[in-house]
Amino acid sequence: MTQAAGEFVGALSFQALTGHPVHSDILSVEEENAMGHINLARWADQIIIAPATANMIGKMANGIADDLLSTLYLAAECPVSVAPAMNQAMWAKPVVQQNISNLKQQGVRFIGPAAGDQACGEVGLGRMSEPEDICNRGLAGRDGILNGVKFLISAGPTREALDPVRYITNRSSGKMGYALAEAAQSLGAEVTLVSGPVTMSPPFGVDMIPVESAQQMYDQIMPRADQSDVYIGTAAVADYRPKDLAMHKIKKQGDQMQIALQKNPDIVASVAALQEGRPFVVGFAAETDDLEQYAQNKMQQKNLDMIAANWVGQADSGFDSDRNALQVYWNNGSQMLPTASKRQLAEDLLHLIIVRINEKNTT
């Protein structure tokens, strides 16, 4: 506990509830041993700082070690996660965001913050994530069931340029693909995420390759596909792009205009058609009607091992929503994953994928 934490809740309460000693002072850690704080840092398998104030994040980002917690962070070699909690205006301050960005680049993992009512009476981003969420996310990385498995995941929309200022795109936010990347990484996988333009930061520990168009996505995915164990096509890839890219801004013409479109390469089908080094291939299907029929057809036509179908154009599922529901199909099987957070669905889908891969390997 930091000194500020001790002013909110007494160390004795923590000690009584957890049944473990509470450390708060550099010099009182293992009193007989002046190196107690170093031993404590070595002892930890993982450090989770929750709640982390703007002050603590600032100290961590700038190498300041003036109390037990900031000293432990500097001395630690284990993974470190931070669950920020602060007023929404403090969270939005560029200096705080810069500190967070620096820490992320150094491998510190951020859990939250969440949005909503704040202790100060304001509303916005900055609430500490729910303790259960912090525990689940913090402990997930220790599961390791995907240790060493290489995942290649596409996410987000593509942008198909018409001229230097306009493009054709869709409503994908990238949330589903990013949730899958985060969940796979936290289960121990090596994850490469090829992402269309979205506003989210890449999940901790994931190698993210930004792209804009379907052709660029294809160019980044194909050389990596045969090096991967699993490919998941979550991206909403444009089926067509403007046939001609105007070099200058297209001027207003008559009452109507026509744009000729040309087919884009089908990325997931190309990965599934690999003759050598073909990964386990999972596609997504975004449908507004006849979900099962269209999804099954896509699985057959693109030669996929599995397809996760979701409704789009409805509230609380599909594009941009934080929640979704998936109907998953594979050869001779299917499973409904009912409405839940995209992060939860990502984990559930990964477990289905693991089971199918194991089944395939044993037959």
Residues known to be catalytic: 120
298 binds ligand PMT, rule: CB under 6 A:
yes
DSSP label of 7: H
Which of 41, 230, 237, 281 binds ligand PMT (CB under 6 A)? It is 237
* Coil, strand or helix at 353: helix
Query: Which listed range, 111-119, 130-138, 171-179, 204-212, lies at the site for ligand PMT (CB under 6 A)?
Result: 171-179
220 binds ligand PMT, rule: CB under 6 A:
no
Single-letter amino acid code for the residue at 87: N
310 binds ligand PMT, rule: CB under 6 A:
yes
Which of 99, 129, 172, 195 binds ligand PMT (CB under 6 A)? It is 172
234 binds ligand PMT, rule: CB under 6 A:
yes
CB of 82 to ligand PMT, least distance (A): 25
138 binds ligand PMT, rule: CB under 6 A:
no
Binding-site size for ligand PMT (CB under 6 A) equals: 29
Query: Which listed range, 9-17, 62-70, 139-147, 316-324, lies at the site for ligand PMT (CB under 6 A)?
Result: 316-324
CB of 297 to ligand PMT, least distance (A): 10
Under 8 Å between Cβ of 298 and 305: no
Buried b (16+ CB within 10 A) or exposed e, 215-239: bbbbebbeebbeebbbbbbbbbbbe
Which of 283, 346, 350, 356 binds ligand PMT (CB under 6 A)? It is 283
Residue 343: partners with Cβ closer than 8 Å, 6 or more residues away: 179, 182, 183
279 binds ligand PMT, rule: CB under 6 A:
no
> Token match 């994931």: residue?
206
User: Rounded to an integer, what distance in angstroms lies between the CA atom of residue 37 and that of residue 198?
Assistant: 41
Query: Which listed range, 62-70, 119-127, 161-169, 284-292, lies at the site for ligand PMT (CB under 6 A)?
Result: 284-292
Which of 264, 306, 329, 343 binds ligand PMT (CB under 6 A)? It is 264
346 binds ligand PMT, rule: CB under 6 A:
no
228 binds ligand PMT, rule: CB under 6 A:
no
Under 8 Å between Cβ of 314 and 289: no
286 binds ligand PMT, rule: CB under 6 A:
yes
51 binds ligand PMT, rule: CB under 6 A:
no
By C-alpha distance, which of 215, 219, 218, 185 is closest to 203?
Answer: 185
Which of 134, 176, 230, 345 binds ligand PMT (CB under 6 A)? It is 176
The tally of CA atoms less than 13 A away on the side-chain side of residue 107 is 8
Which of 153, 285, 306, 349 binds ligand PMT (CB under 6 A)? It is 285
The tally of CA atoms less than 13 A away on the side-chain side of residue 273 is 9
126 binds ligand PMT, rule: CB under 6 A:
no
Residue 233: partners with Cβ closer than 8 Å, 6 or more residues away: 154, 267, 268, 271, 281, 282, 283, 284
Which of 83, 86, 236, 346 binds ligand PMT (CB under 6 A)? It is 236
The tally of CA atoms less than 13 A away on the side-chain side of residue 348 is 18
CB of 267 to ligand PMT, least distance (A): 3
User: Rounded to an integer, what distance in angstroms lies between the CA atom of residue 9 and that of residue 245?
Assistant: 62
The stretches of 226-336 forming alpha helices (DSSP H) are 267-272, 291-301
Binding positions for ligand PMT, rule: CB under 6 A: 154, 156, 172-177, 214, 233-237, 239, 264, 266-268, 283-286, 298, 310, 312, 318-320
